Structure formats: structure tokens, C-alpha cells
Amino acid sequence: MRRVKIIVGATATGKTARAIDVARAQSGVVINCDSLQVYDELQILTAFPTYDEMATVEHRLFGYLRYDQQTNAVEWARLAAAEIEETLQNGRMPVVAGGTGLYVNTLMYGVSPMPVISKQNREEAVELASDNFAKLCETLYELDPELENLLPPEKHHQLVRAYEIFLETGRSIRHFWKMPKETFVNDVEFDVEVMNCERAELYRRIELRFDRMLQQGAIGEVAKLLQKIGNGNDIRNYPIFKAIGAKEIAQYLCGQCSFDEMRALAIKNSRHYAKRQITWFRHRLER
């Protein structure tokens, strides 16, 4: 049976180093499964592998999108499956590594197919989300009241996605969730390793890493990205701003908080995100 190594875990648990070690030992290729490292911008803030690390072993699916492009778990899984197949055919070990549980879960277990969204409907959904997000939510909840519990307003990107699907098909996204699953990789055995770390040590690593990101130029990265986006555009419409620290630094640059407040909030949010990741991998990454 062909074998695929999966290395996942919360932020700052050492996934990058572990993936490189495994790839070195197994003549492997590291394949990214972090939903933010698919973007070319914010390489410091999204903890890209360094140039030296990328030179050590081959890395794929890093930085292949621009900040104004969007993707999803299905699109990523199709790309990852192609990279896995090519790697296996070349007699090498695919090492899929990252912290986005939904991505790796989709790759391993498949997902209900979603409709292709036209450019016009995607742009209309983004425009309404910027101008009147409450109206977008109201429309979806009237269409399917169950969505109010499944996709509350804080799930901004998922609601925009659901609205795109409504515009394209006239149906609730739940209709597609119930359809038979599409699978992506066949005839392989997944060897899953979930990276863990004692909680106090994890929090220490998170704080040290964010401070290192600031020293390496994370604020300048966000400033350049804000210039590209331009004034008046809602950063919530750009998934890249889900990167922990991006919104906080943007607020600091706009004078909405002090440096110390920005730093403390980013570290706090990163800790909360790590806790959610730990819970997700504990309960969801299983057959």
C-alpha cells in the first residue's frame, strides 16, 4: 500500500521542523496544508518555512495565491492530491504538513461536492458582505433557518461562501452538505502524526514566536498589504487577514490601538486559536 505521511497540530508545536526531518529521512516532499501559507503575502506572519528550510527539501503548495484570490478546502485537496500522486509515482514520500484541520480532513475523508461559482456571483457576494453583511445573513437565515445555528454571523467567510452558493443555485449550502462525498486520493494509507506540546510551553512558544515575527518585519508586511488593498475596502473580505496578528497589526497601523495593546491581543488570539486547533484535532481527525 502506498503511504502518505500527515503531520498536523496546533500553531507553534513544531510541525515545520518535524516535516522537514521526515522528508529528509524518507526522500520526501513537504506539501503544505495551511490555509494561510497558500498566500504569497505575509510570509513572516504566517510562519512560512525559511529559505534555508525550503532549500533542504522540496516544498509544494506554498505561496501560490495572491492576497486577492480565494480558495477552499476542496480546491486545495484537488491540488494536494495531484502533488501526492506525482510524488508517489516518482518513488518519493508525500509529507503533508500544516495546521488547517479542515483541509487535511477533506483530503483524507472526502467532502460533499459544491457548485462552481461564477465570477459575477462571487463578486456580488463579496460586495454585499462589504456593504450590508447583516442583509446577507438575513437572506440566508430566511432561506434556511437552520443556518443561523450552524453558521452564526461571526463565521464571516463561510457565510459569504453560502451566499455565493445561494446566488448560483438558489439552494442552501446544507443541500450540498448532504450529497455523497467526493474523494481525492485513492489506494493510499495515511500515517497521521498529531504534534502536541504541554500547554504552558506552547503559550511560551507562541509569545516568543510573535515577538520574533515583529522583529523580522511583520508590521511592514501588513502595511504593504494594506496599501495593495487600498482605503475603503473591508479587510474581512480577504481570507489572508485570518492570519493571527494581521487584523491586530492593521488596527495598530490605523491608530486604533497602541503597540502594546496590539501585541497582547495578537498573542491572546493566537493562544485561543491554538486551543481550538487542539480540540479540533482531538475530536475530528478520525474515521
Mean pLDDT of the chain: 94
How would residue 233 be classed by pLDDT, with cut points 50, 70 and 90?
confident
pLDDT at 138 over 70: yes
Mean pLDDT on 91-120: 93
Query: What mean pLDDT comes out for the span 169-195?
Result: 93
Considering the chain, what percentage of its residues have pLDDT values greater than 70? 99
- pLDDT range class, residue 283, cuts 50, 70, 90: confident
Domains recognised in the chain with CATH numbers: 2-112+182-196 (3.40.50.300), 119-177 (no CATH), 199-279 (1.10.287.890)
pLDDT at 285: 61
pLDDT tens sequence across 4-38? 999 999 999 999 999 999 999 999 999 999 999 99
Mean pLDDT of the 227-255 span: 91
Segment 47-104, tens digit of pLDDT: 999 999 999 999 999 999 999 998 989 899 999 999 999 999 999 999 999 999 999 9
Grid cell locating 87:
510524488
pLDDT of residue 286: 44
What is the structure's pLDDT at 1? 81
d(CA 230, CA 237): 13
Q: Which residue has the cell 457548485?
A: 115
Q: What is the pLDDT of residue 162?
A: 96
Q: Is the pLDDT of residue 194 over 70?
A: yes
Tell me: pLDDT of 136 over 90.
yes
Which of 52, 17, 6 minimizes the C-alpha distance to 209? 17
Pairing type for strands 188-195 and 58-60 reads: unpaired
Round to whole Å and give the CA distance between 144 and 209: 42
Contacts of 136 (CB under 8 A, 6+ apart): 125, 128, 129, 159, 160, 163
